Amino acid sequence: MLRFVLAAIIAFIGARSAVAAGENFDAELRQSAEKIQNVMPDCGKLMEAGDFSGANAKILATFPEATRTAAQSFLLGNILFDADPKQSYALHKAAAKAQPQNVGVLWEWGLEQHRAGEYAGALASYQTFSKAQPGWAPSYALQADCLLRLNRIDDAVKAWRKSEAAPDGTLETMEDLVCTVHRDPAPHGRRAELLAKATKQRDVDAACELIALDCDFPRDWWNGGPQKSYLKHDLPAVQAAINLPADDLRSRAMACAAECATADHEDPAAIKAILTKHRLLTDAEQTLPTHGGLLSVILNAVTQSKAVDDAVLRQQVGPKVLELARKGKDVRVWNVAMFAGPTDKDEQLKLEREAWQTTGDARFAAGVLFLKHERGQLKGDDPDLLAALKQFPESGMIQRAAYQTALREQKVTRTLLANAAQAEFTHFSSFVATATVVNRPRSDYLRTYFAQLLLMPPEAKPAAVPAK
């Protein structure tokens, strides 16, 4: 549960104790970190059993609130940052109040404020940090994000210029930190709630949602996949609690998804054997799970392993998925329907529009816009573009469509670039695949927008009115 920031801040304080508030804080932080390591194994067991609140309570009890020091609050805040934002916010706030001159503490407090949407406060914390560490580029980038949200475009451009010029800090670190303040918290609490609902209330829908979550457990914008320790506990627990007949489709789908998620996706024979075992997709009826999350997990394994021919997926499975999608508003089912849908551009456009209207999800609105853009049909006053911008102003892909259209029409403005940059900060929409990281969201578009903003003159200030 410890974040990478913890090690970095400990090292930072150790190297710059005169700035950070002295050796006492540094020493206490190290001692506290050693002490809390003793309780982490028990906390891990509680987490695996689904006792999220119990695990957090045990962590907090290591340093009782009545006697908790700033260093201990700081450490606890870092540990709980990913899983319990409300608690970590309170802990870092307490540490910052007690150590207002400690720039390491202020940095972490700035991240908390940023994540909570307190942009003016976060900006002040980052600026104080940068006075002590003027060469660290990521701080200026985060300042630029806050300034855009405070509608201070010129100042945001200045901050970004500093981030480009600063000698320390990598692009990847900046991207990680942007993800840190804008991504959803790790869903350990949600998993615990679903587990309780499935086992205590015998809620089958909660059980399906739980197993789908365990099969593809998000950690950040880049990393997900099966949480194997959770699956090992949760699948038998919900199967015993809800006690569905062995032939029940939902029971088969949960077991199949769990096996597909943990199987070798480079072994098509293994994936096909799992499908055959649970009589899904490869049976005579080509049976599909009706739960969107389980369906996504299974078809992801199928497509990655190529256990089923692409032509079969599109021609036979695709129409069945679309039929299922049209019975509800599940974004995940609609997403699969698009992936396994027709290759004809006219049909794709119709389906993207139908999915947008049905689900209200930005990805399908972006699909409509980019299909029209490919044909040269998207204009700045296009009703679809205007509607999408109004409905999804924080979508990087929607803003990208607006930017590309304006670029083609030579109508790029400072406001358009600022809006696009702000949306990219919310979630990067540029992707790159490498030998070790597949489809890592990157800041390429964000950097493009700021590069153009840097070339534009600052906004003209209104002339002063002469005194009478």
| HSE-up (13 A, CA, CB side) for residue 167 | 3
pLDDT tens-digit series, residues 249-285: 999 999 999 999 999 999 999 999 999 999 999 999 9
Residue whose token pair is 């940023």: 114
Q: What is the pLDDT of residue 233?
A: 98
Q: How far is CA 226 from CA 229, 259, 437, 465, in A?
A: 9, 10, 17, 64
Q: Helix count (H) and strand count (E) of the chain?
A: 27, 2
Task: Give φ, ψ of 442 to 5 degrees.
Answer: -125, 170
Ordered alpha helix ranges (H), 243-309: 249-262, 268-277, 292-305
Q: Give the relative orientation of helices 103-115 and 85-98 as an angle to the nearest 10 degrees.
A: 150
Classify residue 202 as left (phi > 0), alpha (psi -120 to 50) or beta: left
Cα distances from 366 to residues 316, 358, 370, 376, 377, in angstroms, run: 26, 14, 6, 15, 14
- 363-417 residue pLDDT tens: 999 999 999 999 999 999 999 999 999 999 999 999 999 999 999 999 999 999 9
- Give the CA distances from residue 450 to residues 58, 115, 248, in Å, rounded to whole numbers and listed in that order: 45, 22, 54
> How large is the C-alpha radius of gyration of the chain?
25
Q: Which domains does the chain have, with CATH numbers?
A: 4-133 (1.25.40)
Q: What is the pTM of this model?
A: 0.91
Q: What angle do CA 428, 430, 435 make, to 5 degrees?
A: 115
Q: What is the mean pLDDT of the chain?
A: 91
The DSSP code sequence of 30-86 is HHHHHHHHTTHHHHHHHHHTT-HHHHHHHHHHTS-GGG--HHHHHHHHHHHTTT-HH
Question: What is residue 464's predicted lDDT score, i.e. its pLDDT?
Answer: 54
